[in-house]
């Protein structure tokens, strides 16, 4: 299997894209640590993977808290003596028009989406440099181009892109690639909460005329962590059915 015995940390692995990514990496032979702030969700994911005789473990972590992330990474290194791949998938939305957005909702999105990407990145750099091999995949969004009602979310995703490019430059000679996936409208529990009429508007803006699936994103994660992507770093890969072309 392509990623046999690679050690992978997936944040936000309790559902949606994160859970699907964890499954896909486990099926590729990796040892996957499924992390989420909701431990009940990741416990369910891990139990399902273990039923299929795949290698996975669950961990509860708030990615915006440096001590929690450091403890988790330390536990992974103690158990496996390596950490090869980080999939920064955890993220939240707190939507409102800019003039109505509360400071609390601004701060919470920045805390999770930006700080919660930076902290895990920083935590894995030293062990990856030690082994002269690593893959870091961050999560942006096509909303980074701007999206009404998402000033906080869009700002964090634009910042994640800048963070990704900077880390790629800093780590390019260390055997570590750093890339970013920018999902479009993906059918996850988050999108399922959107009113049907609004979803119809989205579909009309997507050239392929369908919503993406978590598998569409997970397979991109898998490719970017493969040897076939060893010469790709600092890039933002839109996975949006062509939606961003007309934005």
Give the pair of three-digit tokens for residue 228.
């076939």
Helix (H) or strand (E) holding 139: strand 134-139
Active-site residue 80, yes or no?
no
Give one DSSP letter per residue of 67-134, joined into a string: HHHHHHHHHHHHHHS---EEE--------B-GGG--HHHHHHHIIIIIIHHHHHHHHHHHHHHHHT-E
Q: Do 33 and 55 contact (CB within 8 A), yes or no?
A: no
Q: How many CA atoms lie within 13 A of 151 on its CB side?
A: 11
Cα-trace Rg, the chain? 17
Q: Do 46 and 72 contact (CB within 8 A), yes or no?
A: no
- Rounded to whole angstroms, the Cα distance separating 247 from 240 reads 11
Active-site residue, selected from the candidate residues 25, 106, 118, 153 = 153
Q: Which residues are catalytic?
A: 153
């Amino acid at each position: 299997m392509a990623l046999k015995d690679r050690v992978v940390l997936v944040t936000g692995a309790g559902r949606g894209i994160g859970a699907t990514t964890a499954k896909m990496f486990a099926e590729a032979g990796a040892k996957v640590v499924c992390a989420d702030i909701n431990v009940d969700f990741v416990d369910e994911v891990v139990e399902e993977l273990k039923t299929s005789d795949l290698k996975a473990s669950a961990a509860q972590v708030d990615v915006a808290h440096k001590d929690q992330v450091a403890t988790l990474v330390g536990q992974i290194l103690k158990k496996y003596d390596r950490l090869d791949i980080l999939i920064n998938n955890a993220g939240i939305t707190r939507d409102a028009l800019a003039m109505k957005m509360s400071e609390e909702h601004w701060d919470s999105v920045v805390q999770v989406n930006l700080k919660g990407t930076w902290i895990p990145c920083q935590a894995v750099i030293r062990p990856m440099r030690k082994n002269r091999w690593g893959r870091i995949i961050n999560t942006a969004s096509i909303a980074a181009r701007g999206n009404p009602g998402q000033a906080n979310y869009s700002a964090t995703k634009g910042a994640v892109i800048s963070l990704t490019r900077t880390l790629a430059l800093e780590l390019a000679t260390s055997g570590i690639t750093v890339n970013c996936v920018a999902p479009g409208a993906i059918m996850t529990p988050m999108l399922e909460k959107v009113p049907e009429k609004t979803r119809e508007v989205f579909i009309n803006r997507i050239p392929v005329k369908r919503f993406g699936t978590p598998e569409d994103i997970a397979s991109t994660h898998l490719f970017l962590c493969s040897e076939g992507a060893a010469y790709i770093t600092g890039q933002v890969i839109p996975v949006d059915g062509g939606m961003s072309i007309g934005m």
